[in-house]
Amino acid sequence: MFDHKIIVTGPVGAGKSTAIRTYSTSQVVETDILASDQTQTMKEATTVAMDYGTIVLDAETKVHLYGTPGQERFDFMWEILSKGSRGVIIVLNASARNPLQDLRFYLHAFADVLDRVPLVIGVNKISMEQRESDFIEKLQQAAIDFGSDADVLAVDIRKRKDMNKLVKRILFSDKLFAK
């Protein structure tokens, strides 16, 4: 069996924990505590170390999902969790104040990892207006400007089929096979 470690990262409130709960078939390990800073205006609890879950896709493929904390003050965990990863999923909240800025921040924060592994960007909480505009294209262009050929997909992170699209883009990436 091949084990694949995939990092799920992005800003606070983007849906990282939900993504792992949605897709994992094992019991999810969560390290949420009550939010005590500005995060409490967005949600009651926040991840402080990681979320972890697994799924066996077939007889030869097991995926380990590691969700990072979204707060920059826990960025030391990003490096720890990224060791040995085979791919990165950046989850963005399309309804956030500036998703484009969020994307740029996470592209730069994970630049060392993204040099080695495939990336896919999942845009969660996207409005119909955004779907009908050039919103996704702007995010795609930001990824290209960064030097990434990552796919940018509008997703509902609460739907297993959407999570499956993100994970499969990592697993079937040419960059993964180039190793």
pLDDT in tens, 105-138: 999 999 999 999 999 999 999 998 998 899 999 9
CB crowding 16-37: b at 16 or more within 10 Å, else e:
bbbbbbbbbeeebebbeeebee
Q: Is 164 left (phi over 0), alpha (psi -120 to 50) or beta?
A: alpha
Rounded mean pLDDT of the chain? 87
Tell me, yes or no, whether 137 lies in a domain.
yes
| Domain assignment present for 179 | no
Note down the domain range covering 118: 2-174
Query: Is residue 126 within 8 Å of 152, Cβ to Cβ?
Result: no
Q: Is the pLDDT of residue 35 over 70?
A: no
Identify the CATH number of the domain in which residue 84 sits: 3.40.50.300
25 or 45, which is more confident?
25
Cα→Cα distances 71→14, 39, 68, 102, 173, Å: 11, 9, 9, 12, 28
In a domain, 132, yes or no: yes
pLDDT tens column, 130-171:
988 999 999 999 999 999 989 999 999 999 999 999 999 999
How many structural domains does the chain have? Answer: 1
pLDDT bin (cut points 50, 70, 90) of residue 74 is confident
Q: How confident is the model over 47-53, as a mean pLDDT?
A: 75
Residue 115 has φ and ψ, to the nearest 5°, of: -65, -25
Question: Which residue intervals of the chain are DSSP H helices?
Answer: 16-23, 75-82, 99-109, 111-114, 128-132, 135-146, 160-171, 174-177
